[in-house]
């Protein structure tokens, strides 16, 4: 063996010398970096990698490949994972080292190079792994304390005094922060002004609610096109008439932009360049929320105060949509909105749920009938178009729902199906008379089967539609839909039987019904009826506006920073220690508007404890399953190909050279 090594070493020296001689005889010297390779060492590492792949490739409970590799392999000692490992003892690799030593020498920083162009042969799928607490969970721990501190005047005054004293003693702690340079680029006063305007736009004066919603949809479409990098002229939106006229084209653009974004594996969002686009999207989000909030407020007054629980007509919906925008309160009253949902789902005959579905999905007064008066009475094609059309000019939220859902499901018009179906059911549309149902029913059922086979509609929706038609939905849409679909969906069916569902990252029992979950949420929010839980966008807008000039002061004169934000060092009776209509004043008002969140925060803390327990159990489970794995057979098929057998699963790993280091270029199993 020693002789072999000596011969190889000699050969290497001779080859190197020859290369040098040739290089000297050329105009430009060619330098090739040596790519280190040792079959023994690489095999030791890839044996463990095959285990990570096996856990990722299971039929059930598959785990995240990178998590398993990083936590079970990379930083572990070689002998801890493979007591029989025989390393080469070259390239600084010893049996007392770690697996990461092998990776670093032969593969570099990445086992699978992120710049590898063709990754089609790397059959790694998304898998489960322990997660850290998210922002909501962390906020639940500190938010009640923040509200308590801000509501306690003496403590708040002392804190501001101490911070101000510290800044005056060492102002460089503020002015020398490199983060301020980034903030100055991101938030010049012009950008702050745009964001404040998006939260309380003055341009909607004289608009109806519907026109304001249409205008915000145009802003959303233009913003989405900018982010998706679609080269198209912005849709016109200077007047209420333009907003209505361009709505259909804009929502068609939303569908295209959504489809384009779903094709991009990583959306690189340049916040500075897309600031105006983001403000347009924020304005649309705000408008949707206050649009829903306004409807809920109107209905809760009718139901609880006036005792009116009538079915809404198209005329009633139009009356709301055509009200002046100035009649809307620029806020989302979460407490009132959840209370409305609870009242709606407690209504046993379903009238208020019907009203809510009408508000959300009934966007056109009349739908295409299956049979009509004329030379060609059977109108199956027209009837089916109710569920397949891509006309986005419908009133209210119907158009935007249709466009968004169609955008994320390019192969089938899911948005058109859902919006059309819900609109017909909730409006109790006159589709077929009882006398003509025997004529229309077979033709419609046949059309559904054709659409199902042609992949125009999903199998489950085709099954639901067929069942409803056989129950008589063509002649009595709402009654049949309520008794055979919505009652079961909202009140009987568990969200996910005997499983946990993810709600904002929190584990929630799937044994709840939708109605039951809404009731529990309402009880938590109403724990203290005297406290508010709302977001006043006027206050948020004014808070943002108070940031104009703040970054410049922080950079040039940090001693005046707290004064700019509203801290009064020598207060009078009017301002106390916080100036009225200042940043600190609006911040205090906004937080006081959310005091009723305490009940929800307590639930979140309970769910967070459960979440942490589940993540620890998952971590232990992955660790135990990894330790139990054994490789029954291993082969080196050739210089670049390694094969391992785990529980009758043959795993093949192929490596290749990429920029002077090896990288896994293929990994699969059979």
Three-state SS string over 199-234 comes to HCCHHHCCCEHHHHHHHHHHHHHHHHHHHCCCCCCC
Selection from 221, 287, 216, 230 nearest residue 254 by Cα: 221
CA distance 102 to 539: 58
Task: Enter the DSSP assignment of 310.
Answer: P
Res. 621: pLDDT tops 90: yes
Q: Identify whether the C-beta of residue 663 lies closer than 8 Å to the C-beta of residue 110.
A: yes
**Model pLDDT, residue 11:** 34
> Cα 207 from chain centroid?
32
> Cα 616 from chain centroid?
25
Identify which of 75-79, 91-95, 232-236 has the greatest average pLDDT. 75-79
Give the helix ranges, DSSP H, for 428-530. 437-453, 459-471, 477-481, 487, 514-525
Q: What is the pTM of this model?
A: 0.80
Residues 329-356 have pLDDT tens digits of 999 999 999 999 999 998 778 999 999 9
Backbone torsions φ then ψ of 363, nearest 5 degrees: -110, -5
Residues 180-197 have pLDDT tens digits of 777 887 889 999 999 999
Q: Identify whether the C-beta of residue 495 lies closer than 8 Å to the C-beta of residue 510.
A: yes
Backbone torsions φ then ψ of 19, nearest 5 degrees: -60, -40
Give the helix ranges, DSSP H, for 301-385. 314-321, 334-345, 351-361, 380-385
* CB neighbours of residue 196 within 10 Å: 20
CA distance 282 to 214: 14
Give the helix ranges, DSSP H, for 362-412. 380-385, 398-407
pLDDT level of residue 26 (50, 70, 90 thresholds) = very low
**Model pLDDT, residue 575:** 59
Q: At 294, is the secondary structure helix, strand, or coil?
A: helix
Tokens of 180: 């301020």
Res. 578: pLDDT tops 50: yes
* Partners of 332 in the β-ladder: 535
Lowest mean pLDDT among 93-102, 267-276, 500-509: 267-276
CA distance 622 to 624: 6
**Model pLDDT, residue 24:** 39
Q: Identify whether the C-beta of residue 543 lies closer than 8 Å to the C-beta of residue 587.
A: yes
153 or 332, which is more confident?
Answer: 332
| Percent of the chain residues past pLDDT 90, beyond the cut | 56
**Model pLDDT, residue 72:** 96
Beta strand pairing call for 661-669 and 649-658: antiparallel
Q: Within a 13 Å sphere around the CA of 387, how many CA atoms are in the beta-carbon half?
A: 25
CA distance 58 to 407: 32
CA–CA–CA angle 272, 275, 277 (5° rounding): 135
Alpha-carbon distances, residue 185 vs 110, 392, 586 (angstroms): 34, 38, 25
Res. 586: pLDDT tops 70: yes
Backbone torsions φ then ψ of 155, nearest 5 degrees: -65, -40
465-471: long-range contacts (C-beta < 8 A, 24 or more apart)? Answer: 465/421, 469/441, 469/444, 469/445
* CB neighbours of residue 587 within 10 Å: 18
> Cα 284 from chain centroid?
17
**Model pLDDT, residue 265:** 64
Average pLDDT, the chain: 87
Task: Find the distance separating the first CA and the last CA of the chain, reported in whole Å.
Answer: 37
Q: Identify whether the C-beta of residue 504 lies closer than 8 Å to the C-beta of residue 136.
A: yes
Residues 45-65 have pLDDT tens digits of 999 999 999 999 877 679 999
CA–CA–CA angle 657, 12, 90 (5° rounding): 65
pLDDT level of residue 527 (50, 70, 90 thresholds) = confident
User: Span 530-543, mean pLDDT?
Assistant: 94
* Partners of 77 in the β-ladder: 98
Residues 6 or more apart whose Cβ sits within 8 Å of residue 519: 342, 345, 346
Task: Enter the DSSP assignment of 303.
Answer: I
Q: Identify whether the C-beta of residue 296 lies closer than 8 Å to the C-beta of residue 340.
A: yes
Domain ranges of the chain: 33-129+630-669, 136-201+535-598, 203-356, 361-492
* CB neighbours of residue 11 within 10 Å: 10
* CB neighbours of residue 538 within 10 Å: 13
Tokens of 364: 């056109």
User: Span 591-600, mean pLDDT?
Assistant: 87
Q: Within a 13 Å sphere around the CA of 32, how many CA atoms are in the beta-carbon half?
A: 8
* CB neighbours of residue 148 within 10 Å: 11
Residues 284-305 have pLDDT tens digits of 999 999 999 999 999 999 887 7
Q: Identify whether the C-beta of residue 235 lies closer than 8 Å to the C-beta of residue 249.
A: yes
Tokens of 449: 């089967």
Q: At 656, is the secondary structure helix, strand, or coil?
A: strand
Selection from 445, 451, 361, 343 nearest residue 397 by Cα: 361
136-145: long-range contacts (C-beta < 8 A, 24 or more apart)? Answer: 136/504, 136/505, 136/506, 136/604, 137/505, 137/506, 137/604, 137/608, 137/611, 140/601, 140/604, 140/605, 140/608, 141/605, 141/608, 143/597, 143/601, 144/598, 144/601
């Amino acid at each position: 063996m020693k002789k072999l090594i000596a011969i190889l070493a000699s050969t290497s020296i001779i080859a190197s010398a020859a290369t040098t001689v040739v290089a000297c005889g050329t105009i430009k010297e060619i330098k090739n970096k040596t790519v280190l390779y040792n079959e023994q060492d690489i095999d030791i590492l890839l044996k463990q990698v095959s285990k990570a792949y096996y856990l990722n490739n299971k039929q059930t409970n598959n785990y995240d490949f990178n998590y398993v590799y990083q936590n079970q392999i990379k930083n572990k000692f070689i002998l801890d994972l493979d007591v029989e490992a025989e390393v080469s003892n070259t390239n600084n690799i010893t049996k007392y080292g770690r697996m990461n030593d092998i990776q670093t020498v032969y593969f570099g920083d990445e086992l699978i190079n992120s710049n590898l162009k063709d990754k089609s042969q790397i059959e790694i799928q998304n898998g489960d792994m322990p997660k850290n607490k998210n922002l909501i969970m962390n906020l639940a721990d500190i938010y009640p304390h923040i509200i308590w501190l801000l509501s306690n005047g003496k403590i708040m005054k002392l804190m501001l005094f101490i911070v101000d004293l510290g800044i005056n003693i060492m102002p460089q702690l503020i002015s020398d922060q490199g983060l301020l340079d980034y903030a100055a680029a991101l938030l010049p006063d012009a950008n702050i002004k745009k964001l404040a305007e998006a939260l309380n736009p003055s341009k909607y004066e004289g608009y109806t609610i519907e026109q304001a919603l249409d205008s915000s949809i145009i802003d959303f479409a233009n913003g989405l096109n900018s982010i998706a990098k679609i080269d198209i002229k912005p849709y016109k939106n200077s007047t209420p008439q333009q907003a209505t006229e361009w709505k259909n084209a804009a929502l068609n653009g939303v569908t295209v932009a959504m489809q384009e974004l779903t094709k991009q594996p990583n959306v690189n969002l340049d916040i500075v360049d897309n600031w105006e686009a983001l403000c347009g999207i924020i304005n649309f989000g705000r408008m949707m929320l206050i649009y829903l909030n306004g409807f809920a407020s109107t209905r809760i007054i009718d139901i609880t105060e006036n005792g009116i629980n009538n079915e809404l007509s198209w005329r009633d919906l139009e009356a709301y949509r055509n009200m002046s925008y100035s009649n809307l309160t620029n806020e989302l009253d979460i407490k009132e909105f959840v209370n409305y949902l609870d009242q709606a789902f407690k209504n046993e005959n379903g009238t208020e749920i019907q009203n809510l579905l009408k508000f959300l999905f009934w966007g056109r007064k009349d739908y295409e009938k299956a049979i009509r008066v004329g030379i060609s009475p059977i109108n199956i094609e027209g009837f089916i178009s109710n569920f397949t059309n891509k006309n986005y000019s419908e009133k209210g939220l119907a158009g935007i729902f249709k466009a968004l859902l169609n955008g994320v499901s390019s192969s089938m018009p899911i948005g058109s199906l859902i919006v059309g179906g819900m609109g017909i059911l909730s409006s109790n549309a006159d589709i077929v008379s009882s006398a003509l149902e025997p004529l229309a029913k077979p033709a419609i059922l046949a059309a559904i089967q054709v659409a199902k086979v042609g992949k125009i509609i999903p199998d489950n929706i085709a099954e639901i539609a067929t069942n409803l038609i056989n129950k008589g939905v063509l002649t009595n849409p709402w009654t049949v839909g309520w008794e055979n679909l919505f009652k079961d969906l909202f009140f009987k069916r568990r969200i996910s039987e005997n499983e946990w569902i993810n709600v904002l990252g929190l584990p929630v029992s799937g044994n709840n019904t939708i109605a039951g979950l809404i009731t529990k949420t309402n009880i938590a929010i109403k724990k203290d009826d005297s406290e508010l839980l709302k977001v006043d966008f006027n206050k948020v807008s004014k808070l943002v506006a108070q940031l104009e000039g703040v970054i410049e002061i922080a950079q040039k004169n940090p001693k005046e920073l707290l004064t700019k934000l509203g801290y009064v060092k020598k207060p009078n009776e009017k301002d106390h220690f916080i100036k009225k209509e200042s940043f600190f004043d609006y911040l205090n008002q906004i937080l006081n508007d959310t005091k009723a969140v305490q009940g929800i925060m307590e639930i979140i803390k309970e769910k967070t404890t459960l979440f942490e327990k589940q993540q620890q159990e998952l971590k232990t489970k992955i660790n135990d399953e990894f330790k139990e794995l054994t490789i029954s057979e291993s082969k080196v098929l050739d210089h670049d190909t390694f094969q391992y057998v785990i529980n009758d699963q043959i795993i093949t790993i192929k490596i290749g050279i990429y920029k002077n280091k090896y990288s896994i270029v293929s990994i699969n199993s059979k």
